[in-house]
Structure 1
Amino acid sequence: MGNLKTESLKRKLNEEDFSGVLSLSSQGYSLMEKIRGYRNEAEGLPNLLDTRFQIASGCKIFTAVAICQLVDQGKLTFDTTINQCLPRSFPLWNDDITLHHLLTHTSGIPDYFDEDEMDNYEELWRERPTYQMKNPVDFLPLFQHEAMKHTPGEAFHYNNGAFILLGLVVEEVSGQSFRDYVQEHVFDVAGMGASGYFSMDRLPEQTALGYIDDESGKRTNSYALPIIGGPDGGAYVTVKDMECFWDALIHHKLLNPDTTNALLTPYQKVTEDIYYGYGVWLKKQEDEWLKCYVMGYDPGVSFHSAYYMDSKTTLTICSNYSEFPFSFVLALEQG
């Protein structure tokens, strides 16, 4: 288990509460599971180990894998510019924006939801019906005619719009819809049998509703998010499916070794110990690489899934509340 503090995590789980599922495993063996709360509070239906949860931006890594697969197939390179692979006009944008820039949040393009300027994703949909936001192209009018924020490669600036563009690239190059491509070439290949991009008005069984707690009381997030997820967020997974995903990625079932290494390369330093690769975060601890991980936060959604390199351990926490129990992650890593 390396330096992971499993006993500290057990104590923290007994001290704090949350709604969701936590799973800690190593090389196919379950080390710890904790299940709490309800997937449907009105009907008293509890969360279960196989409950599907929304994961918000946690699924940007699926988009990155899709792009990397097309690189593996020789259909793209990371230096391909968006003008070379998208038949759309972006008159105010730099001509040199590459897939690498989009994957690493360094493109400088405007964002439809700039997290430095807005803190409530739900506000986006007060004048735009969420039920109309079904495909990547539906998001383009929100940002495609805005000016550049900085020149490509100049700085790291987290950008949801960049991953919308990557989804459009997947569609253009593969000839499939983004969701169909990821289902067939990522979820199915990785053995993620319960995962998918589900419409919020047609959710399958064993799916958690997301809950928002505000001044009016607790409500579901049905009107707070686009009706169905896409390249920048919104897929549903189970904790066990995420374990399958990390196993498939690390053991080159999804990508060849060189492209896997490219995805997991720390291209951008974000804070003292945090870096960004292609759709994935990486963390150092005492000058050693501790983990690669993904995370997501939306109204009624919080998510964290990590692969710890040294111990080959996977931690996944899925919650259908907005507030993420980050103390669980700190307890495992720091005690």
Structure 2
Amino acid sequence: MRPEDIDTIAEETGFSGVVRIDRSGQVEFGKAYGLAHRAHRIPNTLDTRFGMASGSKGFTALAVLSLIEDGALKLDTTARSLLGGDLPQIADDVTVEHLLTHTSGIGDYLDEEADTEITDYVIGAAHELTSTEAFLPLLDGRPTKFAAGERFGYCNGGFVVLALLAERAGGIGYHDLVRERVLLPAGMTSTEFLRSDELPADAAVGYLPLDGVDRSNVFHLPVLASGDGGIHTTVEDVSAFWRALFAGNIVDRVDEVVRPRRDVPEESMRYGLGLWLHEKTDTVFLIGYDAGVSFKSAHDPHTHTTRTVISNTTPGAWPIARALMP
């Protein structure tokens, strides 16, 4: 795709965000569009930090897999062995692998199969969600949807449970665990867990249409990201992540991370351990979608090509991502 074609799509759709294409670390295209803060007319730049929604589920998975390599967890470790009496609705046979592959069948606090819109207020007191343990009341009382291992069923709550298990197995908080085991070895120096109610000057505010006006997403998302997504990052750091992952700098058995575990025909995709996979090729994806956030990054490990589109609006990334990515 020519740069002018990207510009055309951006103009036609009112795109707000950043697009970057690089090969082997060399930037072939990089451009920012729209505003990071509309009230103050602050433009997005290539260094702007954006929320990546479920894109950071991959970071949770890798933190867990790093603990597995260290012997603190196993793929067949049951959630119950670390939960104790917490979350009694989670079946005793649900394992770490079930949670990593969205096959646990546990009830979800943010159920994407339910009849709700991404713009609905669904998580309650967002300002109280500052730790993984704070999610326990939201996760509790959710009945099992299907038997563990029966099928693929995308589950946000499952990755919060993974964060909780990782904390209890690793002996440190989830945020520090991801910093130490994913961000630091990947050289992701601009990626951080930012509070939505005190965003720094270089972070984009997320916007979504509500009642005929565009509003920020501050009341829609947890104030601080947890295991199911929401960390803030830059397009440069996303590229650094892919390079580090396939260089073996985060975990040793990258082949196991990207080995297809489940076909997801309704998405025309497959799924590995916390990462989306192309249905036919070896291209790997991080994907995030939430109120005021849209993000997709594709990496081809054979050509070392990364294509990333990240937006601070709910639907913003998709038109360009569809045109850019396989």
**TM-score > 0.5 by shorter chain:** yes
Taking the TM superposition and a 5 Å limit, the aligned residue runs for 1:40-119 are 40-117=37-114, 118-119=116-117
Choose the corresponding residue for 2:275, options 262, 276, 280.
280
Does the 8 Å CA contact 1:122/1:225 hold for their aligned counterparts?
A: no
Deviation at 1:13, TM superposition (A): 3.0
Q: Which runs of 5+ in 2 are unaligned?
A: none
Contact 2:294 2:318 in 1 (8 A): no
Partners of 2:248 and 2:139 in 1: CA distance: 35
1:134 Cα deviation (Å)?
Answer: 1.2
Q: 1:10: how far off?
A: 4.4
Kindly, what percent of the aligned residue pairs are identical?
36
> How far is 1:149 from its partner?
0.7
- Partner of 2:242: helix, strand, or coil? helix
Question: Mind listing any 5+ residue stretches in structure 1 that lack a counterpart?
Answer: 1-5
Structure 2 match to 1:145: 141
Alpha-carbon distance between aligned partners in 1 of 2:212 and 2:9, rounded to the nearest angstrom: 28
Q: Tell me if structure 1 keeps the 8 A contact 2:295–2:317.
A: no
Distance of 2:256 and 2:82 partners within structure 1: 21
Amino acid at match of 2:278: K
Find the counterpart in structure 2 of residue 160 from structure 1.
Answer: 156
2:285 to 290, 293, 318: 293
Q: TM (normalized to structure 2)?
A: 0.94
Match of 1:318 in 2: 310
2:309 matches 1:309 = no
User: Aligned letter for 2:321?
Assistant: V
- Matched residues in 1 for 2:263 and 2:32: separation? 35
2:7 maps to what in 1? 13
What is the CA–CA distance in structure 2 between the aligned matches of 1:26 and 1:271, rounded to whole Å? 29
Give, as a single letter, the amino acid of the residue that structure 1 aligns with 2:52.
I
Q: What's the counterpart of residue 223 of structure 2? A: 227
Q: Decide whether the 8 Å contact of 2:49 with 2:232 is kept in 1.
A: yes
Residue type of the partner of 2:99? L
CA positional deviation for 1:209: 0.6
Amino acid of the structure 1 residue aligned with 2:322: L
Matched residue type, 1:119: E
SS of equivalent to 2:198: coil
What's the CA shift for 1:250? 0.6
Structure 1: distance between partners of 2:36 and 2:18: 10
Give the aligned CA root-mean-square deviation in angstroms: 1.6
1:110–1:149 Cα contact (<8 Å) kept? yes
